Structure formats: structure tokens, C-alpha cells
A and B are shown apart, each in its own frame.
Chain A
Amino acid sequence: MTVLIARSLVAGYGPRLVLREVDLELRPGDVTALVGPNGAGKSTLLRALAGLIRPAHGEVTLDGIHVGTLTRAALARRIAVVPQVFDTLFPFSVREIVGLGRTARLGLFARPSPADGEAVERALDAEGLQPLADRRVDSLSGGERQRAVLAMALAQEADVLLLDEPTTHLDPAHQRGLLHRLAELARDRGVIGVAVLHDLNLAALADRVVVLADGRIVTDGPPVKALTPSVVADVFGDGLTVLSVPGDPDRLAVLPR
């Protein structure tokens, strides 16, 4: 049973601290949406959870082990990250990019095993990328490239999937599709899914919403409990209105006022 925990986490870049005292416990089977205004610390929290930045105070532990003490390869076998930046000038094929997800499982001299190949094909299937598998990534649209990078992270077959604004370049159908696939992974394979999202309507599809502002967690709970009209007004200003969906008390919609 995987548990990823941040305790009294204070972190940032050099002297500039972005996160102030964040406590968060992530358990398998849940998809968590991280929302908040620009500069709230969403990406910083994701980086700290991934062990990419060292906490100034507090700690991040994976099953009780400090993520900072694990090697990069050991960490990559447990935690996969979908990056925000995925531009390249080099003509890698989509299948080669997805194959990078297996890097941590290959020794310096080892060749990819059949199991590695199968994991890559599964990831390509999951993102519907088989028709594009031999295309050069530098010739794809932004959305197609974003799906290739998602498939790369899926091929890591990690227990934790951290996604930094994974829907920026996706059309509405693919945005919802991504959240559904995340929910499936969480439910069927016990994956911990955490996604930084800007669209509160997408966030409302998650199991749990964590609202960040000024480096602190404002609320944390199921969407209807976390995204209340007063929280949304406090954090995002009064330009938004939160509507309940008639006949479905677990759903909500956020619209511009």
C-alpha cells in the first residue's frame, strides 16, 4: 500500500520560499486535483512530492522513506511525473519518447526486455497513439505531443502519477478522457494520481480537491466540499460563480460571473 506524505513542508527556490507548512497525505485509489491561482505553489508542491526540490523544512516520505534519500532510478520506478515542458528540436519517434519511460528499469548495458516493450505498447494504446507511434514528435500538434508525454509517464508503471497542468494543449474530449483514465488507474491499480489543474470544472471531476493559495492549503476535500462559493471567491476573486447541478448533489459547475 503506497502512501505519499508531505509533513510541515516548507520549500522553494533558494531563499525564495513558496510553500509554507503544507501537510498532505495521499493514498492509493484517489485522484487529487491541485488548484489555486498563479504562484500559489502548485507546481512547487508537485516538484517537492517528486523529490525534485529539497524541502527547506519538513519532509516528503514515500512509504515512510524520505524521497530525498532514494536514488533517481529508485524514485522513477515509484513516481512518474508528466512535465509541463515538452518541446524538442530532435526527431524522436513517438514510440521512442514513450520508451523513455522505461529508462529507470534498464541497466547501463541492458537491452529493453519484452516486458519493457509491452509496457510501451500498453501506454501507446492507453493514449490512442498507435496510429502516430512511428511519427516524429517534432511534427505533432501540441495536444498530440502532450499525449505522447502522458504515455511516457504511463510506461513508467509507477505507483504515483504526478501531472503538471496535463490538459493545457488538449481538446475538451481528451481533457475529460485523461481524467477518466486517471480515475481508472487509481481504481484498478491503486495508483495515486495528483494533477495540477487550472480548469475548476475538470478539478471537480477528481475524487479530492486541494486548494492552494500563498503556499498554504486553504481547503482539502471532495469537490463539493472544497470548491464552495466562499472558498472560490476568497481564492480566485469574485469573477466566478459556483453552481450546483440539479439532481446530482456530488457535482458542481464553475462559470464566469
Chain B
Amino acid sequence: MTRTAPVFAILALLLPASIGAGILSGAVPLAPADVLAALLGGSDPVTGVIVRDIRAPRVLAAALVGGSLAVAGTLLQGLFRNPLADPYVTGTSAGASLGAVAVIAVGGELSATVVPLAAFAGAMVSALAVWQLARLGGRTTVLTVLLAGIVLTAFTSALVTLLLVSSDRLALRLRAIIDVLAGGVSVRASGELVVAAIVVLLGAGLAFVLGRRIDAFVFGEETAATLGVDPERTTIAVIAAASLLTGAAVALAGLVGFVGLVVPHALRPIVGATHRRLTVASFLAGASVLVLADLGARTALAPAEIPVGVITGLLGAPFFLLLLVRARRREIA
């Protein structure tokens, strides 16, 4: 524990530092003193609106999204014993986006609670489907999980497209749809942030509590059972936690790839494989990474914005390749 204490200290400092940087920078540069005054309610009206209504919610949303995706990735990797699993590749995110798009199609985005709940339901259904598909042949293997994820993503994407072309309403809601599909952090109402924060807290808390049981899955479901863990019930609880987190993330930011895959993968050699420690570290690191990525998305081509999913894709894919190559080298050496 003492060996990894400095890592946790760094991660715990990185998150507030990233949030601070996220609020300070943007199309209009702000001085730290003005930001502080705005947060305390004593600034000029324009700065107040920028800080309180635009930047702070957006930065907090980015932190929630990054933390959620990283913890969901930790959960799914542990459950499937597969360092390549995450909400994106297992089709969980796609299921969440289908849920979100479906309620937007009927006008549900006008209520702050409906989109996260629909996204959660979509995530849960698709994660359960992947789990069942992956076990069809008996034992779940790395390959079956990935194949099931591909199949499910293709299927849900087809359904999303079908919804898009068949619903007149959706043509009028293009902005909301693009938010869900392109991976851009957006907070349409402050109520949405509160609902998402509660959902994330529930999911992350559940993930932490389940950590030790997920450790017991290291040699498979049967060994988990002989160690005293009920594999079915634990799997469903883990999938529920991952779905809460993915649902909240998709409701706030749509499809953001690679954070859930790369963050736990990169942290494991540093903080170890036990899931309680990995959950805490992943939340802190994932939140910081996405706040910084969103900062890049807002400022790189300012005043135009790039969806943050583009940034995580551009940075995440090569980083992931690097990790793969290093792992392969270690195996050979």
C-alpha cells in the first residue's frame, strides 16, 4: 500500500488541478482571481455567467464522464478477465446511446432524468446480452467478448440509424442527437448534471464495494464460486454498476472511446490489479484525463469546438497501440 501511496497522492492532486485549468482556459481567458470571485458570486455578470453557467458545469460533467468510463472499463475488464474490454468495445456504450436516442425521439430529453435513465437501461440490456453471448460456447474468452461486442454494436447502430431516418422528430433534434453520437460534453440543464452525479456516485460506490469479489474472478467463474463468490449474482451486480456509469457518461457526453480501455490498462502496472485500488485510481485519472481532453477540444480550434470523442480517439488509439506493443515485448523478453 505504501509503495503506491505517492501515485494516489499525485492522482488526487491532478484532478483539482485539471478542473482549475479547465475553468480558467477557454475562448475567453480568465484570471484566477476573477474565477474565484465568480464562484463566490461576487464578479461582473459576464464572467459570472461564463464561470457558473458555462465552464464549471461543463468541466464537472467532463470529470464525471471520464471517471465513469474509466471505472466502467475497470469493472468490465475485471469481470471478463480481459484487459481489452471497456464500455465501448463491449457494446455497452452503443446500447446506452440507443436508449438515449430512443427517448430523444419521443421528446424525453426535455426532462433531466429521462435521458440518463434510458441510457442506463440501454447499457444494462446490451451488457447483459454481451455476457450471455460470450458464454454461449461455455467458457467466456477474450475473443468471444470482443466478437459479441462487435455484433451488438453493429446491431444497435443499425437500430439508431433506423430511428434517425424514420422519426420526423429527430430531424428537429439534430443537435441533441449529434451530442449523443459524436462524443461531445454538453450540459443542457443543471438538473441533468445533478442526476448524472447521483447516478455516477451510485455506480462508483457499487464498483468499489464489489472490488474484492471481482478480484475473485481472476481465474474464472468456477474458481470465484469455490472462493465463496456467487458468480451469477456478482456478474449482474457488476454489469449494473458498469451500466449506471456508462449510462451517465453517454447521457452527458455521448460516445467517448478509449478512456475506459486505456486508463485502467495503463494504471494496472502502477497501482496493481486489485480492483478496489484500481477503481479509485481509475476514477481520479479518468476524470482528469477527460477534463484535459475537453479543454483541448474547446481550445484547439477556438472558437470552433471539436467533439471530445475525437480527441480521445486521436490520443487514445496510438497510446493503446503503444501499450500493446510494450506488453508484447515483455512477453517475448
Contacts and interface: CB of A to CB of B under 8 A. Distances in A.
Contacts, number: 82
A79 B81 CA distance: 24
Given A85-B220, A87-B219, A93 B272 contact: yes
A93 B82 CA distance: 18
Interface string A38-80: 0000000001001010000000000000000001110111011
Contact of A92 (B212, B222, B230, B274): B274
Interface in B176-198: none
Which of B215, B228, B268 gathers most chain A CB within 10 Å? B228
Given A87-B219, A89-B81, A79 B272 contact: no
Contacts of A91: 268-269, 272-273
Contacts of B216: 100, 103
Contacts of B223: 81, 83, 85-86
A75 B228 CA distance: 7
B135 to A, nearest CB: 14
Interface stretch (A104-112, A123-131, A191-199, A238-246): A104-112
Interface string A151-169: 0100010000000000000
A153 B274 CA distance: 18
Interface of A is mostly: mixed
Given A89-B82, A90-B268, A108-B209, A52 B218 contact: no
A50 B224 CA distance: 12
A156 B223 CA distance: 13
A149 to B, nearest CB: 7
B227 A76 contact: yes
Contact of B226 (A83, A86, A90, A108): A83
Interface in A7-48: 47
A144 interface: no
A103 B218 contact: no
A184 interface: no
A152 B219 CA distance: 12
A101 B216 CA distance: 9
A97 B225 CA distance: 15
B226 A88 contact: no
Given A91-B272, A92-B273, A96-B273, A103 B81 contact: no
Interface in A190-212: none
Given A97-B218, A149-B219, A90 B228 contact: no
Contacts of A109: 209
B269 A83 contact: no
The secondary-structure label for the interface of chain B is helix
B268 A100 contact: no
Given A103-B228, A106-B212, A88 B219 contact: yes
B298 interface: no
Contacts of B219: 83, 85-88, 149
A150 B14 CA distance: 41
Contacts of B225: 52, 72
Contact of A90 (B218, B222, B229): B218
Contacts of A108: 209
Contacts of B226: 50, 52, 75-76, 79-81, 83
B233 to A, nearest CB: 9
B79 to A, nearest CB: 12
B218 to A, nearest CB: 5
Nearest to A139: B330
Contact of A76 (B218, B222, B228, B272): B228
Contacts of B272: 91-93, 96
B188 to A, nearest CB: 37
Interface of B: 78, 81-83, 209, 212-213, 215-216, 218-220, 222-223, 225-230, 268-269, 272-274
Given A92-B215, A103-B229, 20 more contacts: A52-B222, A72-B228, A72-B229, A73-B228, A75-B228, A76-B228, A80-B226, A81-B223, A83-B220, A85-B219, A85-B220, A86-B223, A89-B83, A90-B81, A92-B274, A93-B272, A96-B272, A97-B218, A103-B215, A156-B227
10 contacts: A72-B225, A81-B223, A85-B220, A86-B223, A89-B81, A91-B269, A91-B273, A93-B272, A106-B212, A108-B209
Interface of A: 47, 50, 52, 71-73, 75-77, 79-81, 83, 85-93, 96-97, 100-101, 103-106, 108-109, 149, 152, 156
